[in-house]
A and B are shown apart, each in its own frame.
Chain A
Amino acid sequence: MASIPAVPTADTSHEVRLAEIPGTVPSLTKLPVGCAFAPRCSLAIDPAASNIRRCRLGRGSSAACWRAAEMVTRP
Chain B
Amino acid sequence: MTETRVLLEITDLVKHYPVRSGVLRRAAGTVHAVDGVSFSVGVGETLGWSASPAAASRRWPAACCAWSSDQRTASGSRRGHHPPQQDRLAAASALDADRLPGSFASLNPRMMAGDIVGEPISVHGLATGRAKQERVAKLFEQVGLRPDQMRNYPHQFSGGQRQRICIARALALGPRLIVCDEPVSALDVSIQAQVINLLIDLQREHGFSYLFIAHDLAVVAHISHRVAVMYLGRIVEIADKSELSEIRVIPIRRRCSLRSRSRTPDRSA
Do chains A and B interact in one complex?
yes
A10 and B245 contact, CB distance less than 8 A: yes
Q: In this assembly, does A5 line the interface, its C-beta being within 8 Å of a C-beta of chain B?
A: yes
A8 and B264 contact, CB distance less than 8 A: no
B160 and A24 contact, CB distance less than 8 A: yes
B194 and A14 contact, CB distance less than 8 A: no
Contact flag A21-B224 (CB < 8 Å), given A7-B218, A14-B46: no
- Specify which chain A residues have a CB less than 8 angstroms from the CB of B190 in the assembled complex: 2-3, 6, 20-21, 25, 40
Minimum CB–CB distance from A62 to chain B (whole Å) comes to 15
Partner of A7, one of B161, B241, B263: B263
Find the A residue at minimum CB distance from B259.
Answer: A10
**Segment 142-168 of B: residues with Cβ below 8 Å from A:** 158-161
Bound complex: CA of A13 vs CA of B46, how far in Å?
12
- Specify which chain B residues have a CB less than 8 angstroms from the CB of A74 in the assembled complex: none
Q: In this assembly, does A18 line the interface, its C-beta being within 8 Å of a C-beta of chain B?
A: yes
Minimum CB–CB distance from A73 to chain B (whole Å) comes to 16
Bound complex: CA of A13 vs CA of B194, how far in Å?
15
Q: In this assembly, does A43 line the interface, its C-beta being within 8 Å of a C-beta of chain B?
A: no
Partner of B223, one of A2, A3, A8: A8
A24 and B193 contact, CB distance less than 8 A: no
Q: In this assembly, does B266 line the interface, its C-beta being within 8 Å of a C-beta of chain A?
A: no
How many A-B contacts at CB < 8 Å in the complex? Answer: 73
- Specify which chain A residues have a CB less than 8 angstroms from the CB of B261 in the assembled complex: 7, 9
B194 and A8 contact, CB distance less than 8 A: no
Minimum CB–CB distance from A24 to chain B (whole Å) comes to 4
Bound complex: CA of A17 vs CA of B189, how far in Å?
14
Contact flag A24-B46 (CB < 8 Å), given A4-B263, A9-B263, A18-B197: no
Bound complex: CA of A14 vs CA of B226, how far in Å?
11
Contact flag A18-B245 (CB < 8 Å), given A4-B263, A7-B218: no
Q: In this assembly, does A51 line the interface, its C-beta being within 8 Å of a C-beta of chain B?
A: no
Q: In this assembly, does A11 line the interface, its C-beta being within 8 Å of a C-beta of chain B?
A: yes
B224 and A14 contact, CB distance less than 8 A: yes
- Specify which chain A residues have a CB less than 8 angstroms from the CB of B121 in the assembled complex: none
- Specify which chain B residues have a CB less than 8 angstroms from the CB of A40 in the assembled complex: 190
- Specify which chain B residues have a CB less than 8 angstroms from the CB of A6 in the assembled complex: 189-190, 192-193
Bound complex: CA of A25 vs CA of B261, how far in Å?
22
Given A21-B191, A24-B158, A24-B161; 18 other pairs, CB 8 A cutoff: A3-B189, A4-B263, A6-B190, A6-B193, A7-B192, A7-B263, A8-B219, A9-B263, A10-B217, A10-B221, A10-B245, A13-B222, A14-B200, A14-B222, A17-B200, A21-B190, A25-B158, A25-B191
* Residue contacts A-B, CB under 8 angstroms, 11 given: A6-B189, A8-B222, A9-B221, A10-B217, A10-B244, A14-B200, A17-B197, A19-B193, A21-B190, A21-B194, A24-B158
